[in-house]
Amino acid sequence: MSSQTPDLKSIVGEIVGDMKKRGDKGKVATYIPELANVDPDMFALVVIDAKGDVAAGGDFETPFSIQSISKVFTLTLALGMVGDRLWRRVGREPSGNPFNSIVQLERERGVPRNPFINAGAIAVTDVIVSGHQPREAIGEILRFMRFLADDHTIAIDRAVADSEKRTGFRNVALANYMKSFGVIENPVDFTLGVYFHHCAISMSCLQLARAGRYLAHSGRNPATGLSVVSPERARRINALMLTCGHYDGSGEFAYRVGLPGKSGVGGGIFAIAPGKASIAVWAPGLDSAGNSHLGRIALETLARRTGWSIFGV
């Protein structure tokens, strides 16, 4: 990277302009019925640099369903609660399988490959649920998101949570299967209820990029000065995002973008340029692996224009 700070505002403005014009938007998720109502033309990009300067464009203040992006924050919370004991219940290897795959779980005796596939995230949620009523656990996760973003308006979209509760049969199967191996401690309904609710958190790209700044800055949020996790833990969460954050599209994302990132079926992607920036993009249309199609293309352009890929310029 050149020593000069790139002009982020103009780069972001150009990317947003280009993306708004494109016809290849991908397909909005429909397996959670409520997500099918989202306007496929929405697009937002936010980059917050190390100084706290914000470059934002498009629909960057419009809240969307963060879905699996919430898994980065529940992982952070669960590690804070039980530390490395978490890794007895979930692995740290990329899955090479779709996010809701069941086959691998049988081969691996109910221990999910990583905390970002659905089974792994459900196991992580179960850790947060232990010792709490589901309502308290949901409150704890929401409070954590509000604390990270320093924004008390962040909320859960009940319609999205209820929609997934009514139709999330595959997640019910994954959770019951893990329960049969003792990987889930709490009643399956409790853990899944909390999982569906944290996936249904609504946030704008601006709120998301603010919430994730600790991962760009060695575990400390520069806006509040508060340490969220140790530098070592922040580095490790970033490593997991790089290797597992896009399911069976993780290799392609690393190849094209070269930044740790986590996608969600709401069309959001949260990404980190270590030491440099916290980034959020939202484009609801997905590719065949369930990752935002234009979101990935936007990040690829951003990484190229800034030279921020962790693998070199």
Which residues bind to ligand GLN, rule: CB under 6 A?
67-68, 99-100, 118, 164, 171, 199, 264-265, 290
For Cα atoms 196, 94, 90, give the angle at the middle one, nearest 5 degrees. 55
Q: Which residue in 16, 46, 70, 71 is the catalytic one?
A: 71
Q: Give me the residue whose beta carbon is nearest to ligand GLN.
A: 68
Q: Which residue in 65, 68, 278, 292 is the catalytic one?
A: 68
CB of 182 to ligand GLN, least distance (A): 22
Closest to ligand GLN by CB, 171 or 278: 171
**Paired sense of beta strands 155-156 and 64-65, if any:** unpaired
71 is catalytic: yes
265 is catalytic: yes
N-term to C-term CA, the chain: 6
Q: Which residue in 124, 194, 228, 247 is the catalytic one?
A: 247
214 is catalytic: no
195 is catalytic: yes
For Cα atoms 148, 267, 58, give the angle at the middle one, nearest 5 degrees. 80
Q: Contact, 170 vs 142, CB < 8 A?
A: no
Q: Measured between alpha carbons, how far is residue 83 from residues 124, 161, 184, 287 in Å?
A: 12, 28, 17, 34
CB of 278 to ligand GLN, least distance (A): 19
Closest to ligand GLN by CB, 31 or 147: 31
CB of 307 to ligand GLN, least distance (A): 29
Closest to ligand GLN by CB, 118 or 204: 118
CB of 21 to ligand GLN, least distance (A): 27
Closest to ligand GLN by CB, 16 or 127: 127
Closest to ligand GLN by CB, 58 or 284: 284
CB of 277 to ligand GLN, least distance (A): 23
CB of 301 to ligand GLN, least distance (A): 23
Q: Which residue in 12, 101, 195, 276 is the catalytic one?
A: 195
Q: Contact, 89 vs 183, CB < 8 A?
A: yes
Closest to ligand GLN by CB, 258 or 290: 290
- Residues designated catalytic: 68, 71, 195, 247, 265
